Amino acid sequence: MIREDLRSRKIAVVADYVVNPGSALYGARQAPPTDFIDALMARGWGIMKMPPHVAKPQSCERLVEMTVGDIVDYRKNGYAVVIAAVDDLPQMGVWIDQMKACFVRLGKDMPPLVSLRSDVSADGADVLERALAS
Partner 1 sequence: MNTEPRRVAYVAHCLMNQNAKVSEFAKCAGVFSPLVERLVKNGYELQQLPCPEMGHMGASRWWASREQYDTPGYRRHCRNLAKSVVDLVIMHQDAGYDVVIVGLDGSPSSGVRLTSTKASWGGRPEGAVQGGSDRRPGMGVWMEELKFEFEERGLAFPRATGVAMDAQDFDLDKAMAELDDFLNADGEKVA
**What are the residues binding partner 1 (CB under 8 A)?**
1-3, 5-11, 16, 19-20, 22-25, 33, 40-41, 44-49, 51-52, 55-56, 58-63, 66-67, 69-70, 73-74, 76-77, 79
- 51 or 116: CB nearest partner 1: 51
User: What's the min distance (Å) between Cβ of 57 and partner 1?
Assistant: 11
Which residues touch 66 (CB under 8 Å, ≥6 apart)? none
- Closest separation in Å from C-beta 123 to partner 1: 19
Q: H helices within the chain, ranges in order?
A: 16-19, 36-42, 57-76, 96-106, 123-133
User: Which CB sits closer to partner 1, 40 or 94?
Assistant: 40
Residue 11: CA atoms inside 13 Å, Cβ hemisphere, count?
A: 21
Instruction: Report in angstroms how near the CB of residue 67 gets to partner 1 at its nearest.
Output: 8
Q: Which residues pair with 81 in a beta bridge?
A: 11
